[in-house]
Chains A and B, each alone.
Chain A
Amino acid sequence: MNFEQNPKIEELLNGYIDGELSADERSQVERLVSENSGVAQRLHQLEKCKSLVSSLPPAEPPAAVVAGIKELIRSHPIVAAASEANKQQGARHLFIRQALAASIIIGLVGIMGAVVYKIVGPEETATPIVAMKSAPTIKPVATPVATKPQETEKVILVAAAEDATSVGIYSLQLQTADFAAVDAYVNKLLEESPWLRYEATKDQPGKSEYKILCSRGGLEAMMNDLATVWSRFDSTTLVVHTDNLGQYVTVTSVKPEQIADIARQNTIDKRVKLAKDFAVINSVSQIMPEEKMLALTDRSLSDLTTIPKPVLTSGDKNAVTAPKGAWDKIQVDLNIVVAGHK
């Protein structure tokens, strides 16, 4: 058989050895091969030709080439400018962290002082040292029923540090058509994040559950990384727990920057309020184009103008740095469920 005059057969044979044929086409080739020895011989020739070329070992790029490429990339104006910007951003964040650390130390020293004073100070001091709204209601001396001194201490300490309900509890449900790749990414991201603790449960195919404990900074860093694959989720729903058992705020089509914004609020009331605002915004944006909504808010016709805009915008995302050290403070209890389509 002259194969130059039968290009279609030649293409079929090539497709066969390359694994590019449909089941029907494969059967057609196999039938041809079994019936015609010329076709069988040609197929064998093509396989050998392919095998010879595929056997060639790859050449290692010379070290000078590798070094040259790196140098060229580093010295390129685009990269040089980006590196300079990153350095400046890094310096700014270092200063902010240092200032934050200093203020935390001062706060802790203050609290320690209050504790020490409470323990060793004169017993007749009825008024708490640390100013707080609820403090005047605690009057151990005047109350007929004896109040335990430890309870008074506890109330004062918690009130001085932060809201008692400062740990935000959230559930995040993420649905994707590309489950395997996205779940692998989420898994890797959590593995490589020493600032959070997590537990993964994968007892159902196409579904993974991650229970995460971390600080707000840790959550922000995680959301920053997740933002890069956010477009692969078909559905993103955040459930924010309120202080009333069984009551939740559900934010559909939630964005990573919104989650970080909610978590950044240091009281449960603020978190719930912001979650409700985002729930409204996201619902409205689903039925109203973004431009119209912006126009609406520009005309100050809605209370939406009072809602703080997400801080995690594209330019700043790289700047988010997780807290240094393996662990600083549990402020977030997050349950993430990544599920594929059934």
Chain B
Amino acid sequence: MAYSQQINIEDAVLVQKWRKGDATAIEKLVCKYQGRIYNLILKICSNPDDAAELTQDTFVKLLENIDKFESRSAFYTWAFRIAVNLTLNYRKRKATVGFTSLDAETASDNEQARQGLAAILSDDKSPDPAQVAENKELCDLIRKGISKLDDEHRTIIVLRDIEGMDYEQIAEVLGTELGTVKSRLSRARAALRQILEAL
């Protein structure tokens, strides 16, 4: 199925009602996407307080720019693009004044989790996703690894491996070419692999 055909028809209807000032349509879209947008931002900025504020900023921005939304793309791709841009700009501003989040740095460094991660990376077997998800210390360690990536690489890893977007959607969210997505994702995974091995 072509990407253009995947456009969520229900979202399109809600957006149309939103444009006409239907407040319930706005609330429905907020309820539908607030969790995903919060998670996306949290994974990129690694700070829950910043993520909360940036999620609110994203919805305000969506509200104020709904007239600029072109219905040829999916609403959530457009919303993600705004969320990613806001978060990356915020991170750039913070970096220039010398504040970066240390939350990921202070995440628990459990020796057992380190050994578990090393075993997974060296073992021939593939990790069991359910077991990984249940192991809080291991998850913290993986999050720490992701947070050590630079913003560009971290964003593309989050969009592909956590949000499950395809390359075309990622290109739309990041405003880049498909070729750039392929090469950047490839470099990001190689970098993440090195970071995880070094933890």
Contact = CB atoms under 8 A, between A and B. Distances in A.
Interface of A: 3-4, 7, 10-11, 14-15, 18, 20, 44-62, 64-66, 68-70, 72-74, 76, 78-79, 81-83, 85-86, 178, 181-182, 184-185, 228-229, 232, 314-315, 317-318
Contacts of B190: 3-4, 10
Given A56-B143, A68-B56, A69-B30, A49 B160 contact: no
B177 to A, nearest CB: 13
A4 to B, nearest CB: 7
Contacts of B5: 178, 181
Q: Is the interface of B mostly helix, strand, loop or mixed?
A: helix
Given A52-B142, A61-B34, A86 B56 contact: no
Contact of B186 (A7, A48, A73, A318): A7
A72 B30 CA distance: 11
Interface in B1-38: 5, 9-10, 12-13, 16-17, 20-23, 26-27, 30, 34-36, 38
Contacts, number: 160
* Chain B interface extent, by class: 35 or more
Contact of A73 (B26, B142, B146): B26
A69 B79 CA distance: 15
Given A78-B64, A315-B20, A68 B185 contact: no
Given A66-B34, A68-B52, A318-B22, A14 B63 contact: no
Interface string B44-71: 0000100010011001100110000000
Contacts of B146: 53
A70 B31 CA distance: 9
Given A49-B192, A65-B52, A73 B13 contact: no
Interface string B184-197: 01110110110010
Interface in B133-186: 133, 139, 142-143, 146, 157, 160-162, 164, 166-167, 182-183, 185-186
A83 B143 CA distance: 42
27 contacts: A14-B182, A15-B167, A20-B182, A44-B126, A46-B189, A49-B193, A51-B129, A52-B127, A53-B142, A54-B129, A55-B132, A56-B139, A57-B139, A58-B36, A58-B162, A69-B34, A69-B56, A72-B56, A72-B59, A72-B60, A73-B60, A83-B23, A178-B5, A185-B13, A228-B16, A229-B12, A318-B20
B87 interface: no
Given A14-B182, A61-B39, 10 more contacts: A14-B185, A53-B142, A53-B162, A55-B142, A56-B132, A58-B39, A61-B38, A81-B21, A86-B21, A314-B20
B65 to A, nearest CB: 11
A74 to B, nearest CB: 7
A61 B55 contact: yes
A50 B183 CA distance: 16
Contacts of A65: 34, 38, 52, 55-56
B124 interface: yes
A315 B23 CA distance: 14
Contacts of B26: 73, 79
Contact of B17 (A56, A72, A228): A228
Contacts of B16: 228
3 nearest A-B residue pairs (beta carbon): A82-B21, A55-B132, A61-B38
A316 B195 CA distance: 58
